[in-house]
Structure 1
Amino acid sequence: MRKAGSIASTILQALAKEVAPGRTTGEIDQLAAELMREHDCKSAFLGYRGFPGYTCISVNEEVVHGIGGPRKIMPGDIVKIDVGITKSGFIGDNATTVAAGDIPLETKRLLAVTEQSLYEAIKHARAGRKLADLCGSVEAFTKPHGFTIVREFVGHGVGRRLHEEPQVPNYRPPGKSPTLEAGMTLAIEPMVNAGVPSVRILDDGWTVITEDRKPSAHFEHTVLVTSGDPEILTWRPREALPEMLGLPPW
């Protein structure tokens, strides 16, 4: 899992650097295919339930599961890249949101809040903690900033398969909550909207968009639960701007 996570992070960081006005989402997806070959790994997404891309690339109001294609990235777009790979039978899964040039102040806030909510959740990835506390921390952090949580799509356990138990929603789930145990690996992935929380799926059967067409942000890490500090298996430098939230520099 550490090896798979490290490769997934390396590929994601390389793709994020390629986000720029004029590039197409299809070009970035093809670059992902080349990088996966270089690292002797396979896409965990390609062919999954028929998904046609090597990565998920979603722009602006597209929340998740966007398909790379001829769409050109425009100045001021925000681009979500989700990379999942399989290496030696294990999965590494991570995502980030990248700005293409200058973006409005409120969109910068959206990215900063969403990324920080991921790290708020990671704090709870310790043996003996309740999964519900981890999940609930995302909405508890984002709601005071005026943003909303996507409820129809959630994080998940991850290991030899892309989607394993337990589900990891970004809100406190009802009912009895499982206790986290050392050795669990979770894909924690806040999906946060600037407007209403409701979403719908486009006619391609995959791309999820916000109902009101306002922007959405998505950040994800694969995290190992330990008896001490959580271990981020897809570690990368943080991208968003902590000063937007009155936080010290990362």
Structure 2
Amino acid sequence: MTITLKSAADIEGMRIAGRLGSEVLDMLTPHVKPGITTEQLDKLAHDYIFDVQGGIPAPLNYAPPGYTPYPKSICTSINQQVCHGIPNDRALKDGDIVNIDVTVIKDGWHGDTSRMFVVGKGSIAANRLCQITYEAMWKGIEKVRPGVRLGDIGHAIQVFAENAGFSIVREFCGHGIGKKFHEEPQVLHYGRPGTLEELVPGMIFTIEPMINAGKRDIKEFGDGWTIVTKDRSLSAQWEHTIVVTETGYEVLTVSAGSPPVPAFVKNPVLNRLLADVPSGVTTA
């Protein structure tokens, strides 16, 4: 396995791309309401990335081996859809939950992030699933520091989610990221402490747990991309891109509109550009 360590200049490029990805989600947030279609959300994101940010939406025409080119600029996964949902003309309804997954390419660097949205009020169960999934992601992030192993991250996420009564999707995982959309290492969201690769400064990867309200089993929807739960239970996902620093971690995919970190997170280091760039200003 070859893991590409990033230099200080590389990390600066990733900070910019990461913040831009998060700002796309900030822009979309007020539009996520009953009646809008995911295709309309995709158009908003596409135009914002190209015209305002001067970037490129990485999912558009992305075609890993064995896949047809992905036809849209973002992924929108609704209710029982686990990941890679393709935007279409389906209007969001009150009570839906939807994951919006954004990756912006800026100056060759990829900023990859996703958030859950509850459309309208939402049920108690749906809100709880989204909140526990967010906290599970942060349980994993909090483990990141030099000397820790990837298995420690996965274990922290798995224990937290399963203790809450939910299940972890195992077929998809986080990944290294940089000039390439997907690099080594793979970052599992389950595992045993003290196993897998050791973290060292300069590693950049995503943590993006997919957590189901029912069983963990999944299947392909039939469009070549969308993954759904086999038992049709709700599924949620959150994603941040993280860099391992000399003393811990820095979250690269944050912006002015990012949700607050959970209370259990101690001294989070967030994208340092936020201290220097006014809210809403991009670097196109």
SS of equivalent residue, structure 2 residue 242: strand
Gaps spanning 5+ residues in structure 1: where?
none
Which residue does 2:273 correspond to in 1? none
Aligned equivalents of 1:89, 1:242: Cα separation in 2: 32
User: How do residues 197-208 of structure 1 correspond to structure 2 at under 5 angstroms?
Assistant: 197-208=216-227
Which residue does 1:13 correspond to in 2? 26
Q: Decide whether the 8 Å contact of 2:140 with 2:157 is kept in 1.
A: yes
Q: Decide whether the 8 Å contact of 1:108 with 1:240 is kept in 2.
A: no
Q: Decide whether the 8 Å contact of 1:112 with 1:240 is kept in 2.
A: no
Work out whether 1:29 is the aligned partner of 2:48: no
Deviations 1:182-213 (A, max 9, x none): 01111110100000101111111101111111
Aligned residues: 246
Distance 1:173 1:29, change over 3 A: farther
Aligned equivalents of 2:45, 2:184: Cα separation in 1: 27
SS of equivalent residue, structure 2 residue 175: strand
SS of equivalent residue, structure 1 residue 30: helix
In structure 1, which of residues 58, 73, 77 is the aligned counterpart of residue 77 of structure 2?
58
Letter in 2 for 1:26: E
Letter in 1 for 2:75: C
Letter in 2 for 1:23: I
Runs of 4+ in 1 over 3 A off after TM superposition: 173-176, 236-243
The TM-score with structure 2 as length reference comes to 0.82
In structure 1, which of residues 47, 55, 59 is the aligned counterpart of residue 61 of structure 2?
47
Aligned-pair distance for 1:147? 0.4
The TM-score with structure 1 as length reference comes to 0.93
Which residue does 1:130 correspond to in 2? 149
Q: Decide whether the 8 Å contact of 1:112 with 1:242 is kept in 2.
A: no
In structure 2, which of residues 174, 188, 191 is the aligned counterpart of residue 169 of structure 1?
188
Gaps spanning 5+ residues in structure 2: where?
1-13, 64-68, 266-284
In structure 1, which of residues 89, 107, 111 is the aligned counterpart of residue 130 of structure 2?
111
SS of equivalent residue, structure 1 residue 81: strand
Aligned equivalents of 2:46, 2:171: Cα separation in 1: 29
Which residue does 2:9 correspond to in 1? none
CA RMSD of aligned residues (A): 2.1
Aligned equivalents of 1:82, 1:173: Cα separation in 2: 28
